[in-house]
Every structure is written in structure tokens, then in C-alpha cells.
Amino acid sequence: MKTYIVGNWKLNFTVGEASIYLHKLLKAVPNYRDLEIVAAPSTIALQPLSLQIDRHKMKLAAQNAFYRDYGAFTGETSFSQLRGVVDYCIIGHSERRYIFREDDKMIAKKMAAAIRNKITPILCIGETESERAFGETADVIRDQLIGGLSEVSDDDIEKVIVAYEPVWAISSTKAAKMATPDEIAEVTKLIREVLAEVYGTKVAENIPILFGGSVKPTNAGAYLMVPGVNGLLIGGSSLILSEFTDIIETAKRVKA
């Protein structure tokens, strides 16, 4: 299985800045066949960057899209409009769940829409700080996983990527708010158990699971060594060229 290094640029960079940053990234990143390096810029930058990107080296992801292919949905961008522009889409990121109130039903429709439009969905799941404190992590993971995948057919299930992103560990500067490899290992194991229960062990083994939450060059190696982790979803560190390329080199070393 490939190792995925996905940079979520969130609401950073104008289109011009994104283009310059991509140019620098493409120069810095070698063509590593066993690494899938993905950048997720803002929607407005996707189309121009899709003309600039070297798809042998890197791929593009959308950060979000709407589940209906056409219709009266002012302000939205559909997966059908992104078809051919991006290879991936992040779905159900905690910022979508908690700021924009996306629930598992909407996320499930987006998962189906992505697959219908030949875009690989990266389903983000993860518990909040209080859910963890109340011992609800396993229930939350199970519900978000089963709920988010509920509209994906058995034939398509292996087209999905899952990202475990504990909400409390995202954009953290304090060590206490960063996940430990043991915590990640426990949840990754649980995700594969739930997948095995619902879809069988072969599917459970074949679905890539990424980790996200304050990944930096200093912890990327330890996170990538967690059994069952197939890659990283990175916010802050993906915006700094030296840090992102450092993480890519670490992935190459650790997963070689």
C-alpha cells in the first residue's frame, strides 16, 4: 500500500500565492512512486493549480464539496464540477462538522457523490476532547465511520481513505494536546475492527488509514511507525515548505 502525505492548506494563500508555493513544492519533491503526495488548496485555486501540477509527483484534493451534482444550491461547488480537476476530496473534516454543522448523513451523501464522480474521498473521523474525557471515543469512532460510509456500496468501499483526526489534537502547540503513538494505535486498531465487522477482514486491511493532528517534522516519524497508519493529514506544517518536505523525506525513510 502507498503512503499518503496530504497537506490541508485550509483558508491560506491567494491563488497567486498557492501557485508559487506549488511551484516550489514541485521543485523540491522528488518523484517517489510509493508516496502519494497530495495538496488541498482552497476551491478557488483548484482549477488553475490542476493545470500547473505534475501529477506524477503530486495530486490535488478539494477540502470540501457539495453532494448534489447540479441544481439550485447557491454558493456550493459540486463533486461533478471537480471531476477531472482533483483526485481526492477531504470529507467530514472536524471544521466542517463543528463550524458548518455537517452531520453523518450529509457526510455519507458527500462520500457517495465523490465516488460517483471518480474522486477518492478522505473521510475524517475523530472524537472531541470532552468525548474522550467521558470515555466515548470508541462509540464516536464507530458511529462516524459506519454513518459516513453508509451510502458507499460494497463494490466501492475499497475506494475510500479514512483519516483519524482527534479534534483535541488539531492545531495544537502543547505536547499534552498531541496524540501519543499508543493512542493512535488504539484507535487505528478499532477502525480496522469496525471495518472488518462490517465489510470483512480483506477490506479492513486494504483501506488506508491516515493520522492527522499537529503533525510536524519532529513527530511525523513516530506517527508513521504506528502499526496500521498509512499516512498523514497535515494542516499547519503543510504550509511551510521546509517542514512539509521534511515530513515527505521522513515518510520515504520510515516506509521504505
Q: Active-site residue numbers?
A: 93, 165
Shorter beta-carbon distance to ligand PEP: residue 5 or 160:
5
**Which x/- pattern over 83-112 shows residues binding ligand PEP (rule: CB under 6 A)?**
----------x-------------------
Asked if residue 212 binds ligand PEP (CB under 6 A), the reply is yes
User: Interface with ligand PEP includes 127 (CB under 6 A)?
Assistant: no
For residue 215, state whether it binds ligand PEP (rule: CB under 6 A).
Answer: yes
Minimum CB distance to ligand PEP, residue 32 (Å): 21
CB of 41 to ligand PEP, least distance (A): 13
The answer to whether residue 233 forms part of the interface with ligand PEP (CB under 6 A) is yes
- Of 67-75, 103-111, 201-209, 231-239, which segment contacts ligand PEP by CB under 6 A? 231-239
Burial readout 209-237 (b: 16 or more C-beta within 10 A, e: otherwise): bbbbbbbebebbeebbebebbbbbbbbbb
Contacts to ligand PEP by CB under 6 A? 8, 93, 165, 170-171, 212-215, 233-236
